[in-house]
Amino acid sequence: MRCRIWNRHWQWSRKCSKNWRISHLSEPVYQRIRIAEAGSYDGRQVEIAGWLYNLRKSGKICFPQVRDGSGILQCVAVKSALPEELFESLKHLTQESSLIIRGKLRAEPRAPGGFELDVEDATVVQRVSEEHPYPITPKDHGIEFLMDHRHLWLRSRRQHAVLSIRHEVIRAVRDYFDTHGFTLVDTPIFTPAACEGTTTLFGVNYFDDEKVFLTQSGQLYNEATVMAFGKVYTFGPTFRAEKSKTRRHLTEFWMVEPEMAYATLDDVKRVAEEMICFCVDRVLANRREELSVLERDLTKLQAIQPPFPRISYDEAVLALQKKGSEIQWGGDLGGADETLLSEDYDRPVMVDRYPTAIKAFYFEPAPDRPEVALGVDILAPEGYGEIIGGGQRIHDLDLLLQRLEEHHLPREAFDWYVDLRRFGSVPHAGFGMGIERFVTWMCGIDHLREAIAFPRMLYRTRP
RNA sequence: UCCUCAGUAGCUCAAUGGUAGAGCAUUCGGCUGUUAACCGAAGGGUUGUAGGUUCGAGUCCUACCUGAGGAGCCA
C-alpha cells in the first residue's frame, strides 16, 4: 500500500515538474507515520507528510517545522549532511508549502514537542509561490481578515485545538447517549411549519411553490419517536433566522436533543448533569494538549462535578435584584443576568420553573402552580450563558389543545403532534444542548464563531 | 431595526490641517541550535467610495459602503 502511494507520487512528480522531486535516494526505506505517534518511533527512520508550519534558518542549518494535522514536528536540515540542491530548496521553502520529509527521528529536549527529525531526504509536493505567499503569518491579525480566510485559518494551532475539542465533545455526547439506552433517531431538516410559531425561520422553496422551513428544533418529532423507542436523541444542524449579532449566536448551529418517555423535569436535570460531567471528563482526559494550546484554566473544568446547584426562577429573580439587575418577575433573563447569576457558582447552575407566559406552548405547567412551567435552563459558569434548555412536555390532550389556541397556532399543522396525546400519552421530557456553546465554554474562548469550522452568522456566509 | 467604534502597504498599526511611516510578511545578503530566531538591504500606497470646506485633507463636514462590539430579538 505504502509503495503504491509512493509510486504514484513519483510518477506525478515527473509529470508536473522536473524540480518537483528533490530526493537523492531511490529506495523507500522510511516508514510513514503521523507526528502524533512520534513517541513510538524514537531512533527509527520515518517519513512524515505535511505542510511547512514555520521555518527558522541560519547559514548552514535550518529548522523546518512541519505539521501533518496530528501535530507539529521540528526537523533539522544540516548543509554538510545533505546534497546542495536539497538543502537550498528546504532553506527557501515558503510557509504552508506541502512536503514529505524523510529522516531519523530522535528525542530532543531542545525541540518543541520533545522530538526532532534529522532530515535525510525530502519531496516538495507543492511549493507556495512568493507572488502569493500564505496570507496568515505568525503575527497578529484582525478578526475580519481571519474570518475572510477561515478556510486557511483552520490550519493554525488554536483553531485546530478548538475543532479537536469539538470533535471530542461530539464523540462524548454520542457515547453517553449510546451507552445509556438512547436510540439515535434523526429528525427532518425540512419542516412544514414553525415548531413554536414564534421565532423566525428560514424559508425554502420546495418544488411547485410549496414553502417549507429549515428546522429550528427536532423536539416535536422527538416526541413522536420517543413513544416508539422510549429514549431517543437527535443530533443535527439547527437554523435560526434571528437577527442576533452577538458572540453567543449563530444562524446555523448543531444541537443534541434527547427525549425520554415516562420522564419528568427531575429526570431531565439528572441526565443533563450526568451528560455534562461525562463530556467534561472526556475532554479533560483526552484533550490536555489542546486545552494547553488554548491556555485553558484546567481547575475551572475540574470543578465541574455533581451535584450542580438547582435554583428556581423565583430565587434567581430575587438574587439578581439583590445584585442590582432591573429584572422583574415575569421577564426573561438577559445575557447580563445570566452572567451575573452564574458568577456565584463554580459549576453549571440549573434554573427551573420559569413563568409559563414566557415559555413555549408545549411546557407542562407545575401541578401546584400553573403560572410556572416545568422547564429548566442550565447556565454554564464563567459567563458562558445558557448551554441547555429543556423540560417536561404537556401530555394531556385537552391542555395541549387549549395551549395551541392560546398561542394562536394553526391546529392543522399540529394534527400529528396532537395525535400523540390520543394514543398512550405519558409524561415525557427532554432537553436541547447547543454544541458550539458547550465547546466555546470548554475551550474558554470568547466567541461562538470559532467553535464551528465554517460559522454562519448574520451578514457572514463566506467562505 | 437602533447605539458605539473602526476602515492607511499582503497583515497589525502610526502620522498637531503642511514631504504618507514602522514592525511582520516577500526578495537578496550574513549567521551550525533556532524557539513568533536575529542582523543588514530592497521592492511594496487610488489612505473604503462619492461629494464638500480649505492655499493645502489620511486628518474637518455630509452621504453611502464594509466590518467589529453591544442592545433589541432569541427552547
Q: Which of A178-182, A210-214, A294-298, A330-334 reaches the highest mean pLDDT?
A: A178-182
Same domain? A117 vs A172: no
CA distances from A378 to A2, A304, A308, A449, A463 (A): 50, 13, 10, 21, 33
Integer Cα distance of A270 and A325 in angstroms: 29
Identify the sign of the CA torsion A174, A375, A446, A289: negative
Protein residue with the closest CA to the C1' atom of nucleotide B11: A141
Average confidence score pLDDT of chain A: 88
Number of structural domains chain A divides into? 2
Q: What is the pLDDT of residue A193?
A: 63
**Structure letter (DSSP) for residue A210:** E
Same domain? A229 vs A365: yes
Same domain? A304 vs A432: yes
**C-alpha angle A348/A349/A352, rounded to 5°?**
140
Position A256, amino acid: V
CATH number, domain of A17, equals 2.40.50.140
Using the CA of A222, give the nucleotide whose C1' is nearest: B75
pLDDT band at A15 (very low <50, low <70, confident <90, very high): very low
Using the CA of A63, give the nucleotide whose C1' is nearest: B34
Residue A428 lies in a domain: yes
Averaged over A120-131, what is the pLDDT? 89
pLDDT band at A12 (very low <50, low <70, confident <90, very high): very low
Q: What is the pLDDT of residue A207?
A: 87
In the predicted structure, residue A260 carries a pLDDT above the cut 60: yes
Same domain? A217 vs A277: yes
Residue A133 lies in a domain: no
Kindly give the pairing relationship between strand A98-107 and strand A115-126: antiparallel
Residue A457 lies in a domain: no
Same domain? A235 vs A197: yes
Segment holding A171, helix H or strand E: helix A157-178
Q: What is the pLDDT of residue A206?
A: 86
Same domain? A92 vs A190: no
In the predicted structure, residue A288 carries a pLDDT above the cut 60: yes
pLDDT band at A27 (very low <50, low <70, confident <90, very high): low
In the predicted structure, residue A51 carries a pLDDT above the cut 90: yes
Instruction: Select from A132, A71, A121, A116 the least CA-distant residue to A99.
Output: A121
CA of A286 to C1' of B47 (A): 49
Integer Cα distance of A163 and A460 in angstroms: 20
Residue A131 lies in a domain: no
Residue A68 lies in a domain: yes
Q: Residue A310 belongs to what domain range? A: 148-451
**Structure letter (DSSP) for residue A42:** T
Same domain? A359 vs A284: yes
Kindly give the pairing relationship between strand A31-32 and strand A45-57: parallel
CA of A135 to C1' of B59 (A): 30
Residue A210 lies in a domain: yes
CA of A145 to C1' of B19 (A): 32
Averaged over A395-416, what is the pLDDT? 90
CA of A114 to C1' of B27 (A): 34
CATH number, domain of A286, equals 3.30.930.10
Same domain? A52 vs A154: no
In the predicted structure, residue A6 carries a pLDDT above the cut 80: no
Neighbour-count burial of A196, counting CB atoms closer than 10 A to its CB (0-12 exposed, 13-18 middle, 19+ buried): middle
Same domain? A334 vs A422: yes
Residue A459 lies in a domain: no
| Spacing of C-alpha A257 from chain mean position | 15
Using the CA of A55, give the nucleotide whose C1' is nearest: B34
Task: Strand B: list positions under 7 Å from protein Cβ.
Answer: 1-2, 10-13, 23-28, 30-38, 66-75
ipTM of predicted assembly, 2 dp: 0.86
pLDDT band at A7 (very low <50, low <70, confident <90, very high): very low
Same domain? A279 vs A352: yes
Give the rounded percent of residues in chain A with a pLDDT score beyond 90: 63
The last residue of one of the domains, among A92, A126, A160, is A126
Same domain? A230 vs A106: no
Same domain? A155 vs A114: no
| Spacing of C-alpha A380 from chain mean position | 16
Residue A284 lies in a domain: yes
3-state secondary structure of A228: helix
